[in-house]
Structure 1
Amino acid sequence: MKKHFYKAVAFCAVVIAFAGCSSNDGGSGTPADPNQELINKLSGGSSRTWYWAAGETGHLAFGDNSTNNGINFYGNIDQAAPFEYVDNPQTGCLYDNTLTFNFQGGELKLTVNNSGSTLFNGGYVTSNGGTGTTDSCLPYAATGAKTVTFSDSDSYVAQSGVTGRTTGKALTIANGGFMGYFAGQSTYEILSLTNTRMTVRAIIGNDPSKAVYHTFTTTQPTPPASENFTNLVWSDEFNTPGAPDPAKWSYNTGAGGWGNNEQQYYTNSAENVVVADGKLVITAKKQTLNGSPYTSARLVSDGKYSFKYGRAVIRAKLPTGAGTWPAIWMLGQNYTTAAWPSCGEIDIMEHVGNQQNRIFGTLHYPGHFGGSANGNSAIIPNVSTDFHEYSVIWNTDVIKMYAGDVLIHSVTNDPSLPFDHNFFFILNIAMGGNFGGNIDPNFTQSSLEIDYIRVYQ
């Protein structure tokens, strides 16, 4: 029964009225409301706003309404993971809910604001204009003041007599009112309530064998940075034969590999870099140029395209041969003012022919660069015979490098690291050097082929 969640309850004002009590306040003639403690916790004495406790496991949960005291007090069937549905348009509206309790003139009033959409339990979707039997967000506006009364709970949880599982109180919202998730029920047992956290339980209206649980908090949860970047913002599909698109790419040329003792000379020659058959082809050759025994190419988007945070995906097939060192990587666009490694470097994919099929994912930054870089590797079969997707997910919280679905390396991102500004792409094959190692004397040439490069945010 994974019928669930979200998009908030309609904007509704709920008035909670309380009947007078028969007892007197020490003979003063003023009735003492036995529910005053609940009122104060809900409203803070005047006004208090509650949010779905989306950062908690089980903030929306489902369980059996059973006489079994071992399972009837929590969501034993299903519990939402923290922010489980935050990126799901079908259910994510739940997180738009706010519940504000105001205590004025002896009355407790509840306003539920859902920004116009409510998450309906799957059993109620079709009766409210939707289709199917899966929980869905539907347009809904529940307006008007709705009186709520307190009563003693007669649930299985209350009947169990187990201390600490329930307050023993329930609140009922008149005229079809409900608390953020429509399940055909207006009566909620208050399992627990403090000044900052509340958990309620309700029986699903069309299925009395099941209960739904809601947990609210007075602190608005902050969702984690997204890893599900889906909006394509930039790409090169390499569909136009000839030189790489000059609007997207330029070249680094020269020898030595900028301090890495590499043996290639980078050129912009079509012998070393060309777009053909729907692919970018970078070729390293055994060919002497300006004193270097090999030629190759290094393409950069420097000054043409850079971005901060997102998901970059590159589909590529790698060269072969001892000494080859292909790389798909990114460098901080501020490198002219923050010299490497202060600008930061994200190596999405590196491979060396001396360790065939081992893919490296690495970060370079102050204190962690060169031989002390922060990286890891994994064996990925057939990297030089088949195309694979190499990708990075980069946000304020984490940087992750993948080969296909295999996580190569993950690093927690934070403000102390230089990964909070724009980075640009670099695509190249180096030969030998500090990382590439010894070059096979029989090497003649081999190519890095890239089918596409795409950036999502």
Structure 2
Amino acid sequence: MKVIKIILGVTLISLLDPMATADRAIPRGYNRVLFYDDFSSGSLDRSSWKVNTGTSYPGGPANWGTGEIQTYADSPANVFVRDGDLFIMAQRNDKGEWTSARIETVAEHDFSCPAGGKLLIEGNIKLGAAGTDTQAGIWPAFWLLGSAYRGNYQNWPSVGEIDILESPNGESRTWNTVHCGDTWQGGPCNESQGIGSTFPLSRGEWNLIALQIDRSASPQTITWSINSNPSFVLTADDVGDDKAWKSLIESPKMMLLNIAVGGAFPNALAQRATPNDKTEDGEGSQMQVDYVAVYST
């Protein structure tokens, strides 16, 4: 059951923004709700979310540019809403073929950090509790991508990518990472690795995963946090390239939630190809989402 907090009245919240909700408090220091979904309607809201399918965007890099091996499907076996939560599950058939789900917010819900202001993106997320010995290759992610990628599909990483949560191979930690610049190798964000850090993460439990972009002070910052504990802070000096930094903190973004299977990142972490015969599909490797929200000043 969800824990609901009501701090601002329905009338006041509604005046702030049509996406606002009286179900949850707007975090202190913010006054606008740019996007909110608590998955309480009983099904995925197709006016807010697009379900990606196949093994690439049309004309985009194969295997979604990462080497992942699954096929994304718009199937209730892979993405569904139950009891007010979103579930994403990777599934393996009897031929050893994997399917999973990846959803992204639609263009009407693109968002950006206002000049001189702040932006907060958060999600209450629970990852499957299957152990590392049975999650090789399972790669859940909660992330942002520059919306200029939509329809182009060849302009990564220059559009800017911010990975709020990545936790491959059943690891009890999350990776906080950015990707930027005009090259797939090297550049200001050290591609294809990116610039980032790791932080402990409890699996099988709810974690409030958040990212704040702050353009209200100097230096401007991007701050990741887990359960209100800061996990990583990035500044323009860490990137060292003004254009690349602006692609991260200024350009419009879309939100994505997905579970990939296999690919360069989990393979490098495992130091072998993933998934393997022990990799578990279904509930033990799922991503469960209570809500996601975007707030701004």
CA deviation vs aligned residue, 1:160-198 (integer Å, no higher than 9, x gap):
xxxxxxxxxxxxxxxxxxxxxxxxxxxxxxxxxxxxxxx
Structure 1 residues 333 and 358 mapped into 2: Cα distance closer, same or farther (>3 Å)? same
- Asked whether the equivalents of residues 47 and 106 of structure 2 are also in contact (C-alpha less than 8 Å), the reply is no
SS at match of 2:148: coil
After superposition, residues 4-403 of structure 1 pair within 5 angstroms as 228-242=29-43, 244-255=44-55, 257-287=63-93, 293-309=97-113, 310-319=119-128, 320=130, 321-335=135-149, 336=151, 339-354=155-170, 356-366=171-181, 367=187, 368=189, 370-380=191-201, 382-383=202-203, 385-396=204-215, 397-403=220-226
Q: Specify the code of the residue in structure 1 equivalent to 2:275.
A: I
**Larger helix fraction of residues:** 2
- Asked whether the equivalents of residues 257 and 430 of structure 1 are also in contact (C-alpha less than 8 Å), the reply is no
Q: TM-score, normalised by structure 1?
A: 0.47
CA deviation vs aligned residue, 1:264-315 (integer Å, no higher than 9, x gap):
11001111001111100011111279xx811000001131311112101100
Q: Specify the code of the residue in structure 1 equivalent to 2:255.
A: F
* 1:317 CA drift (Å): 0.5
CA deviation vs aligned residue, 1:46-88 (integer Å, no higher than 9, x gap):
xxxxxxxxxxxxxxxxxxxxxxxxxxxxxxxxxxxxxxxxxxx
- Asked whether the equivalents of residues 233 and 455 of structure 1 are also in contact (C-alpha less than 8 Å), the reply is yes
SS at match of 1:271: coil
Q: Which moved more, 1:316-325 or 1:259-268?
A: 316-325
**Larger strand fraction of residues:** 1
Taking CA–CA contacts closer than 8 Å with sequence separation of 6 or more, which of the two structures ends up with the larger relative contact order? 2
After superposition, residues 400-411 of structure 1 pair within 5 angstroms as 400-411=223-234
How many angstroms apart in 2 are the aligned matches of 1:452 and 1:369?
Answer: 32
Q: Specify the code of the residue in structure 2 equivalent to 1:251.
A: V
Q: Specify the code of the residue in structure 1 equivalent to 2:83.
A: D
CA deviation vs aligned residue, 1:418-444 (integer Å, no higher than 9, x gap):
121110001000011111222241223
How many angstroms apart in 1 are the aligned matches of 2:224 and 2:275?
Answer: 27
SS at match of 1:436: helix
- Asked whether the equivalents of residues 430 and 436 of structure 1 are also in contact (C-alpha less than 8 Å), the reply is no
* 1:370 CA drift (Å): 4.0
After superposition, residues 415-430 of structure 1 pair within 5 angstroms as 415-416=242-243, 417=245, 418-419=247-248, 420-430=250-260
Backbone CA RMSD of aligned residues: 2.1
Q: Which moved more, 1:228-237 or 1:257-266?
A: 228-237
How many angstroms apart in 1 are the aligned matches of 2:94 and 2:148?
Answer: 34
- Asked whether the equivalents of residues 146 and 254 of structure 2 are also in contact (C-alpha less than 8 Å), the reply is yes
* 1:404 CA drift (Å): 1.4
SS at match of 2:265: helix
Segments of 5+ residues of structure 2 without an aligned counterpart are 1-27, 56-61, 114-118, 182-186, 268-273
- Asked whether the equivalents of residues 362 and 409 of structure 1 are also in contact (C-alpha less than 8 Å), the reply is no
Segments of 5+ residues of structure 1 without an aligned counterpart are 1-226
How many angstroms apart in 2 are the aligned matches of 1:334 and 1:353?
Answer: 30
Which is higher, the Rg of structure 1 or of structure 2?
1
Q: Which moved more, 1:423-432 or 1:304-313?
A: 304-313
How many angstroms apart in 1 are the aligned matches of 2:98 and 2:54?
Answer: 11
Aligned residues: 225
How many angstroms apart in 2 are the aligned matches of 1:252 and 1:285?
Answer: 16
Structure 1 residues 253 and 234 mapped into 2: Cα distance closer, same or farther (>3 Å)? same
